[in-house]
């Protein structure tokens, strides 16, 4: 299972947490108390951090969400032979947000990192063939592009891979 799809408690067991002081505006509390949080996924070295809040607890929540997004963007599990042999079915999280051939999801929703990882993993299996991946997820190609556009980094990462493969970039 992709790390961004793990239950939060399981993912936290695979991370190292660092609390530091944040610089910049925010007054004495921000400059004197270690409210900034950095979470590092120990297996991949991928990080998520937050320091914009005065609350360490809130920064930890934001850092965890950012870690999940970064894992979705930058970690592809190694492909196995059975990834190509078995038929693909989208997750329940994807299906709950699909309305016919459209997908309704907010980039700030708790499930977004897991759904993004699922789409990026399937794109990897399909060698960035957007049409085949859209069919796998039962949505239109334009809906899949719009979904990737929710996070500009996701669209950029896919376009970088497509560029290497000599495929035209995606545009919203």
pLDDT in tens, 104-162: 999 999 999 999 999 999 998 888 899 999 999 999 999 999 999 999 999 999 999 88
Quick one: tokens of 168? 């035209």
Whole-prediction pTM value? 0.87
Q: HSE-up of 113 (CA within 13 Å, CB side)? A: 24
Structural domains in the chain, CATH included, are 3-74 (3.30.160.20), 81-165 (no CATH)
User: Cα(49)–Cα(59) distance, rounded to whole angstroms?
Assistant: 8
Give the integer Cα–Cα distance in Å for 119 and 99.
17
Whole-angstrom distance, CA of residue 120 vs CA of residue 131? 14
Task: Give the Cα separation of 8 and 3 in Å (integer).
Answer: 10
pLDDT at 83 over 70: no
Q: What is the reported pLDDT for 66?
A: 96
From residue 164, how far is each of 73, 97, 128 by CA, in Å?
17, 32, 11
Round to whole Å and give the CA distance between 45 and 82. Answer: 27
> Containing H/E element for 30?
helix 27-32
């Amino acid at each position: 299972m992709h790390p961004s799809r793990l239950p939060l408690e399981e993912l936290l067991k695979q991370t190292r947490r660092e609390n530091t002081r944040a610089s910049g505006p925010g007054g004495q509390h921000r400059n004197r108390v270690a409210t900034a949080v950095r979470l590092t996924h120990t297996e991949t070295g991928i990080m998520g951090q937050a320091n914009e809040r005065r609350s360490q607890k809130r920064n930890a929540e934001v850092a965890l969400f950012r870690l999940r997004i970064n894992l979705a963007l930058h970690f592809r599990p190694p492909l196995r032979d059975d990834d190509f042999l078995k038929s693909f079915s989208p997750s329940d999280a994807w299906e709950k947000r699909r309305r016919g051939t459209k997908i309704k999801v907010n980039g700030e929703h708790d499930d977004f990192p897991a759904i993004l990882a699922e789409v990026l993993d399937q794109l990897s299996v399909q060698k960035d063939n957007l049409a085949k991946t859209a069919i796998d997820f039962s949505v239109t190609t334009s809906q899949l592009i719009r979904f990737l556009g929710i996070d500009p980094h996701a669209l950029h990462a896919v376009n970088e891979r497509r560029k290497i493969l000599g495929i035209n970039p995606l545009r919203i």
